[in-house]
Amino acid sequence: MIAQRPYPIEPWSVTETHLDLDFLPQSESLFTLSNGHIGLRGNLDEGEPNAIPGTYLNSFYEKRPLPYAEPGYGYPEDDQTMINVTDGKLMRLLVDDEPFDVRYGDLHEHHRHLDLRTGLLERRVDWTSPGQSRVRIRSRRLVSFSQRSIAAFEYIVEPVDRPARLILQSELVANQEQPPASKDPRVAAVLDNPLVAAEQDHDEKGIALLHRTRSSDLLVGAAMTHIIEAPGREETDAAVREDWARRTIACTVNPGERLRVVKFVAYAWSGLRSENALRDQVASALSQARFSGWDGLVADQAAYLTEFWDSADVQVEGDAELQQAVRFALFHVLQAGARAERRAIPAKGLTGPGYGGHTFWDTEMYVLPVLTYTQPAAAADALKWRHSTLDRAKDRATELHLRGAAFPWRTIRGEECSGYWPAGTAAFHVNADIAAAVVRYIDATGDVDFERDFGLELLVEIARLFMSLGHHDEQGGWHIDGVTGPDEYSAIADDNVYTNLMAARALVAAADAALRHPPVARVLGVTTEEGAMWRGAAAAVHIPYDEAREVHDQSAGFTGHAEWDFTRTNDYPLLMHVPYFDLYRKQVIKQADTVLAMHWCGDSFTLEEKARNFDYYERRTVRDSSLSSCTQAVLAAELGHLDLAYDYAYEAALTDLLDLQHNSRNGLHMASLGGAWLALVAGFGGFRDHGGLPTFDPALPDGLTRLCFSMRWRDLKLTVDVSPHEVTYSISGAEGATLLMRHDGEELLLTAGETETRALTERIPLLPRPEQPIGRAPLSARRPIDG
């Protein structure tokens, strides 16, 4: 964890006021720009020094064999690893023959500024070379939301006190050297030189490089073009090789003058299209970018973000640091999914190589809730990507001797990439999570076309999977045995509460959707009898309960396991210091599991059950996953432990800004970033979507004086404005539009242009504030930090 705040607290930006090379790996992740298709890590313009050079294209990967000492039937054979593609960020500057490098000469000023409203990363440098030539450098970059294939850069150099000979080398570089792989399993495997040159092309307008991956046989194209503004005469030339291309600009600039270069870079990739087609695609993208110009792209970027923030902003009064963090979180969640367009949303977005660039269930349960209510088209695209992998999921189910579709635990293109089946294949809840995301999107948008064309088939095949996984006992109860729930410190368990409840909801959702679309259901082979079987299994689902302790078992028999001795070690995360075998047979929990069930399936528990369950599991959860804090915040708030909820919300929101997991260098934690929104909106806003209606029961902790947020619901913007004692609801949309919602159990009919205000219900905890395991109390929102 960072001992001091690395950035000033600002409401709409993140600013680096000086260059700290020790913090460079984390800042590269934090200053990543992305649109969901292209991701540019926040590397310095000149390329060096760096921690992890990173330019990523969504779902562009290389294959590598998964090694097994003892392979078995059904083990996945290949891994898919996101790779660094051709780097177009590089702008190498020489001043009077000396290369600009922050490690040499005198660095008078180094300032970087990420503006969350414009989407621009701005850099300002004042540097004197070892030969005493002083220059000021200003650069700006963006990854366009409006033109999906384009990244753009503006680079300005001004001599300070004497004329300077400037050489600017703008480059495309493939197969950059990457840092050595880590033993930490959360860090991606690094592949050396994964790209093979296919074609090079250049003329006076631009340069293009095409490469293929060695094993996955994917083709990638990168191209660049420039607009040059220099005083007096300048000389330019180009050089092209298999793995690099360079445009060189030479000129002499006097004090008071400047060299300004605008660089447009276009990216495209395909597993099907020809080299000619891809070359033409990037050339076309460059033409469009040149037509728009730098100013046009900047204006489009600001307009896109203005529209996003209008319905997505979360205003927090009373805690400026939390305000900054939640907007930073929303910005990066948007960047991860905005233009992904039927491709996966990785657990790290496109901010770094962590987890190999894989997507997990995090997407459906932490990222898509945010996008569903703020950027629903992006949520729809993510679910359409899942649908596009349906055949692979059905093949996987067949391989596992199951029916329906078994979606992968971790993947890039749809095949299972987890070589550790207890945490991978056995985590069947990922399928119920996808079903839940489908239902959530349909409820929030009313998108009948999506349900008919995509959602129904997903729900049907997931329902068939769970019917083949589950079984009825002699008393008629329905069970799912031998699975791994969200808690990865418990594996191959029977009747995991979260999995069973989520599976039951998926079964009912499939049956309901089939009734709404009979023609499509018939094509999918759904019969009346099959739908009745789904409903029967859901009604009979077994939810383990320990009568003696009066709590729900996380899975059957869990509360009878030996207790973990928390005095024996404080080396977290435990998975790096303790054998999994030891974790699997004890009552120690990596991340919220039963508590997660009480969030998403809260209407299946009484308030008293929630209180006892939360108290029990809070004492055994070590939060060795960034997915946990936000969920614990939501339940702590519901149960009246508002100060504890505040601490958990703070921890979720600051996970990356303070590097709490010690691995932000490898990319940001999209689930925790999405979880920051959940902690505030579902926690203190009390938002639930059970039964297809938006429901709220807000409460604010001491220290927060106002929480105001908006969300999209059925083409309306719903705004919830919470103060310490009351909440005001309003909607905007077409004149006369109405929305039925609930406040604390009371139904309200909102009308556009009018407001409804209700008093807040005081939260009185049923039990005292629970303790956490030794050394695992959440980071306090009121802790003193220097800086």
Catalytic machinery residues = 488
Give the number of other CB atoms < 10 A from CB of residue 672: 27
The alpha carbon of 353 is separated from its chain's Cα centroid by a whole number of angstroms, namely: 13
Q: Strands, E, within 129-243: which ranges?
A: 134-143, 150-159, 164-173, 195-202, 207-213, 219-229, 234-240
C-alpha 648/C-alpha 646 separation (Å) is 5
HSE, side-chain direction, 13 A CA sphere, residue 118: 16
Q: What Cα–Cα distance (Å) separates residue 581 from each residue in 225, 483, 488, 575, 594?
A: 56, 16, 12, 10, 21
C-alpha 133/C-alpha 464 separation (Å) is 71
Place of tokens 């039937």: 73
300 sits in which H/E element: helix 275-312
Place of tokens 């293109």: 413
Question: What token pair was written down for 65?
Answer: 């064999």
Q: Which has the closest alpha carbon to 369: 186, 589, 599?
A: 599
C-alpha 636/C-alpha 684 separation (Å) is 10
Q: Are strands 259-270 and 562-563 parallel, antiparallel or unpaired?
A: unpaired
Burial class of residue 159 (count of CB atoms within 10 Å of its CB; 0-12, 13-18, 19+): buried
In the three-class reduction of DSSP (H, G, I as helix; E, B as strand; rest coil), residue 355 is classed as: helix
Burial class of residue 97 (count of CB atoms within 10 Å of its CB; 0-12, 13-18, 19+): exposed
C-alpha 414/C-alpha 21 separation (Å) is 38
Question: What token pair was written down for 255?
Answer: 């004090």
Place of tokens 């030539």: 133
C-alpha 293/C-alpha 227 separation (Å) is 9
Q: What is the dihedral of CA 532, 537, 538, 542, to 10 degrees?
A: 160
CB of 371 closer than 8 Å to CB of 337 = yes
The alpha carbon of 619 is separated from its chain's Cα centroid by a whole number of angstroms, namely: 28
User: Which residue type occupies 516?
Assistant: R
Q: What Cα–Cα distance (Å) separates residue 216 from each residue in 78, 79, 194, 281, 349?
A: 10, 11, 10, 21, 21
Paired with 716 in beta bridges are 713
Q: Are strands 470-472 and 478-480 parallel, antiparallel or unpaired?
A: antiparallel
Q: Which has the closest alpha carbon to 702: 655, 645, 744, 758?
A: 645
Query: What contacts 579, CB < 8 A, 6 or more positions away?
Result: none
Burial class of residue 424 (count of CB atoms within 10 Å of its CB; 0-12, 13-18, 19+): buried
Paired with 62 in beta bridges are 81
C-alpha 541/C-alpha 501 separation (Å) is 7
Q: What Cα–Cα distance (Å) separates residue 34 from each residue in 147, 189, 641?
A: 12, 22, 37
User: From the CA atom positions of the chain, what is the Rg in Å?
Assistant: 27
